[in-house]
């Protein structure tokens, strides 16, 4: 009992008599200075009082201590019994998750006995040792499911001395805990939240989801049929759209001849996803004398706190779908974006209205700026350079200084860059690097990005935030990562190349615009490279743009000489093809490890094209390690959508031409990821062999 320490107010109350004795002694000393005799008498009485108090403490201390202990035992026993009868399941466990004690409700729920000393993970798999270790201060909640019920498991660490009760009923358990050397324990309390979660799920499932459906090529198809058949085509489109969404209890409102606004409950979205949004393929079966098929794009918005914000998400989603070439479904769930689409080519637009409008808008922007800086993607190819040269031609036509940001001049670009010399009439500072560009950019500078729409892929991402506005011209499909808030965005996935787009724009940019032989050759070379000598992604407008360049002075023989490669690059490409491995009898995967070639990424892209010439190969992938990154070039002819594969790898591109840039992984790891992605897509039905 002597070791018992009394603290707090109880200690203060017990010591008051001692304090009073000290006060009396001090008073006696003061009184002695006034009346010595009276002070001596009061002092003697104070000494006797203090002595009696001290003796009384010594005699009665054990009795007081016993009373305190008895009270604590009774109080702890009441607490312990209340906790044991507590209607909420409650248990304590050690740092490794081994159960030490559980109340009756916990035993009833888990079906375990009081002496069950195994890990709690054997009962609730969600409560792992790692989750217990994460409990630091405060409470930590894990949601678990047990026997068709949902519980919030509230974990909390408590010191052992606070956990041990003084009741006799649990004395054996307390001793066992002490023997096992538990210094700190974790309590777990299970709160049944089944009804809450069911109501929450119902609330989410019943939320209204807005969607926009646009017919991609309505005007083009209508112009190809007789007028008497047009009303029938419109009626069939309306019928298919209404029937499709009627199956999910949706409401369809026609906004325009080729646009629909739909609302349905979010619980039906999973049904549409499982059906791969069959409306995209079903709409293509409409045939009433039309040779071209209709395609539709769909944008769905959800995950916002208000319906107006969900509607904005739907508008953003339909913009992404159209920017990917049509025949796509894009779901924007707050910041997450999902893509779905048919296995087909982008829909080519025969009309040039859009190119003319973009050309006029670009001219107006250039006229209000003091200079133009244009850049493509990092490690630029002929298409990026050719498009940049096209922008230079446009800027020069309106009297604006234009410079091209080019950090790396590869061996394949060197012959093209060498054409633009001072002797040929071009400024010495036509080509600058990122550091030079950052020193001259200001709020009167128009920054143009060509052949990419991803900010991190550009030659100098910092330029995007420092100029007086950004313009994007690209022919790749848009993904989640894109340049934000451009003044002008012209993205056409149907186009074969960025050079094709600039060649069209130049025809409407200014009256009588002329190109030098060097400029025409450079833009033509970019088209030639990206179309693999006009064998990939070519359409009517591709050849029309090539014809314009030919009229402007482009020479096929001269361009062919410019694009010739040295022997080391040719050997490197042959080595890549020779070492290719065939995966699942349809996919050629190889690694470009050459150290002799100056531009290994170009070699990898060329080798990827070469691998498609092998019988039975439906898609090819070439991995190149260069400048700390893994560059993946993927190609296909028509059966495999390599763009979907590259998107899962973090890249993008087109149906037949795509790629990715990966950091922080080895070639072997990236190769394994590609194989895993192919396996998953085959299992999911995205790839059919």
d(CA 205, CA 90): 33
For residue 479, which of 344, 674, 321, 265 has the smallest C-alpha distance?
321
Same domain, 318 and 380: no
Q: Which secondary structure element, helix H or strand E, spans residue 624, and what is its range?
A: strand 619-626
Beta carbons of 193 and 141 less than 8 angstroms apart = no
**Mean pLDDT rounded to a whole number for the chain:** 84
Instruction: Evaluate whether residue 689 is within a structural domain.
Output: no
Weakest mean pLDDT among 76-80, 563-567, 645-649: 76-80
Instruction: Evaluate whether residue 257 is within a structural domain.
Output: yes
CATH number at residue 654: 3.10.310.30
Same domain, 281 and 191: no
Same domain, 58 and 19: yes
- Domains in the chain, number: 5
Instruction: Evaluate whether residue 347 is within a structural domain.
Output: no
C-alpha 369: how far from chain center: 35
Same domain, 163 and 54: no
CATH number at residue 437: 3.90.1640.10
- Would you state the pLDDT for residue 394? 94
Instruction: Evaluate whether residue 366 is within a structural domain.
Output: yes
The answer, yes or no, to whether residue 685 has pLDDT greater than 60, is: yes
Choose the final residue of a domain: 65, 83, 101: 83
Q: Which whole number is the average pLDDT over 54-74?
A: 66
Same domain, 539 and 417: yes
Choose the final residue of a domain: 154, 177, 199: 199
For residue 623, which of 665, 564, 676 has the smallest C-alpha distance?
665
Choose the final residue of a domain: 170, 199, 228: 199
- Would you state the pLDDT for residue 171? 46
- Would you state the pLDDT for residue 66? 61
Same domain, 149 and 21: no
Q: Which whole number is the average pLDDT over 18-43?
A: 77
Bigger pLDDT: 329 or 179? 329
Instruction: Evaluate whether residue 645 is within a structural domain.
Output: yes
> 3-class SS at 214?
strand
How would you list the strands of the sheet with 587-592, edge to edge?
Answer: 581-583, 587-592, 619-626, 629-636, 657-663, 652-653
Contacts of 610 (CB under 8 A, 6+ apart): 573, 576, 577
Same domain, 58 and 124: no
Taking only the tens place, the pLDDT of each residue in 102-160 is 888 888 888 888 888 888 888 888 888 877 777 765 678 888 888 889 999 888 877 65
Same domain, 242 and 305: yes
Beta carbons of 638 and 631 less than 8 angstroms apart = no
Same domain, 479 and 548: yes
Q: Would you place residue 5 in the very low, low, confident or very high pLDDT band (cuts 50, 70, 90)?
A: low
Instruction: Evaluate whether residue 302 is within a structural domain.
Output: yes
Task: For residue 337, give its domain range.
Answer: 206-341
Question: Around Cβ 675, how many Cβ atoms within 10 Å?
Answer: 16
Q: Which whole number is the average pLDDT over 592-607?
A: 80
What are the residues facing 157 on neighbouring strands?
Answer: 186
Q: Would you place residue 168 in the very low, low, confident or very high pLDDT band (cuts 50, 70, 90)?
A: very low
Contacts of 465 (CB under 8 A, 6+ apart): none
The answer, yes or no, to whether residue 73 has pLDDT greater than 60, is: no
Instruction: Evaluate whether residue 1 is within a structural domain.
Output: no
Beta carbons of 386 and 502 less than 8 angstroms apart = yes
d(CA 233, CA 516): 48
Same domain, 526 and 381: yes
């Amino acid at each position: 009992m002597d070791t018992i320490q009394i603290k707090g107010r109880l200690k203060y109350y017990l010591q008051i008599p001692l304090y009073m004795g000290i006060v009396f002694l001090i008073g006696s000393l003061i009184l002695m200075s006034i009346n010595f005799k009276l002070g001596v008498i009061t002092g003697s009485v104070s000494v006797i009082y203090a002595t009696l108090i001290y003796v009384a403490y010594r005699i009665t201390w054990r009795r007081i201590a016993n009373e305190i202990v008895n009270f604590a035992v009774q109080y702890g026993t009441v607490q312990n019994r209340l906790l044991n009868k507590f209607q909420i399941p409650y248990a304590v466990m050690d740092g490794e998750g081994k159960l030490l004690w559980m109340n009756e409700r916990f035993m009833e729920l888990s079906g375990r006995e009081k002496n069950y000393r195994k890990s709690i993970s054997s009962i609730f798999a969600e409560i792992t040792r790692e989750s217990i270790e994460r409990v630091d201060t405060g409470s930590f909640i894990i949601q678990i499911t047990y026997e068709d019920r949902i519980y919030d498991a509230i974990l909390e660490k408590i010191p052992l001395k606070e956990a041990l009760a003084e009741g006799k009923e649990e004395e054996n358990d307390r001793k066992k805990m002490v023997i096992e050397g538990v210094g700190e324990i974790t309590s777990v309390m299970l709160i049944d939240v089944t009804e809450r979660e069911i109501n929450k799920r119902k609330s989410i499932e019943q939320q209204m989801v807005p969607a926009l459906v646009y017919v991609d090529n309505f005007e083009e198809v209508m112009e190809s049929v007789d007028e008497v058949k047009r009303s029938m085509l419109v009626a069939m489109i309306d019928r298919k759209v209404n029937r499709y969404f009627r199956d999910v209890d949706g409401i369809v409102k026609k906004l325009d001849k080729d646009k629909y606004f739909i609302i349905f409950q979010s619980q039906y979205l999973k049904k549409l996803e499982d059906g791969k949004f069959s409306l995209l393929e079903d709409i293509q079966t409409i045939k009433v004398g039309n040779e071209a098929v209709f395609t539709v794009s769909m944008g769905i918005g959800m995950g916002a706190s208000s319906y107006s914000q969900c509607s904005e998400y739907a508008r953003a989603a339909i913009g992404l779908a159209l920017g990917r070439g049509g025949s796509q479904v894009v779901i924007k769930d707050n910041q997450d974006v999902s893509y779905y689409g048919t296995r087909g080519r982008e829909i080519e637009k025969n009309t040039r209205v859009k190119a003319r409008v973009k050309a006029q808008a670009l001219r107006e922007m250039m006229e209000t700026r003091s200079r133009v800086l244009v850049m493509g993607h990092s490690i630029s190819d002929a298409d990026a350079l050719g498009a940049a040269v096209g922008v230079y031609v446009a800027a020069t036509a309106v009297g604006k200084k234009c410079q091209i940001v080019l950090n790396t001049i590869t061996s394949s670009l060197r012959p093209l860059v060498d054409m633009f010399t001072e002797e040929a009439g071009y400024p010495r500072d036509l080509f600058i690097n990122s550091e030079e560009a950052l020193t001259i950019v200001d709020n009167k500078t128009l920054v143009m990005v060509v052949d990419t729409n991803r900010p991190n892929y550009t030659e100098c991402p910092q330029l995007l935030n420092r100029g007086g506005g950004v313009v994007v011209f690209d022919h790749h499909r848009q993904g989640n990562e894109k340049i934000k808030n451009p003044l002008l965005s012209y993205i056409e996935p149907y186009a074969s190349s960025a050079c094709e787009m600039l060649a069209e724009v130049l025809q409407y940019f200014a009256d009588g615009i002329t190109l030098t032989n060097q400029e025409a050759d450079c833009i033509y070379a970019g088209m030639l490279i990206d179309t693999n000598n006009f064998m990939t992604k070519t359409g009517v407008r591709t050849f029309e743009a090539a014809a314009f360049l030919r009229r402007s002075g482009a020479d096929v023989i001269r361009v062919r000489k410019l694009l010739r490669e040295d022997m080391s690059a040719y050997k490197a490409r042959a080595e890549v093809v020779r070492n290719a491995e065939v995966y699942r009898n349809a996919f050629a995967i190889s690694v470009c490890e050459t150290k002799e070639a100056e531009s290994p990424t170009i070699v990898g892209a060329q080798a990827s094209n070469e691998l498609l010439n092998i019988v039975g190969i439906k898609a090819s992938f070439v991995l190149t390690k260069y400048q700390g990154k893994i560059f993946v070039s993927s190609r296909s002819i028509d059966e495999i959508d390599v763009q979907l594969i590259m998107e899962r790898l973090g890249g993008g591109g087109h149906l037949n031409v795509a790629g990715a840039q990966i950091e922080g992984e080895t070639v072997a790891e990236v190769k394994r990821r590609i194989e895993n992605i192919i396996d998953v897509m085959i299992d999911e039905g995205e790839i059919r062999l």
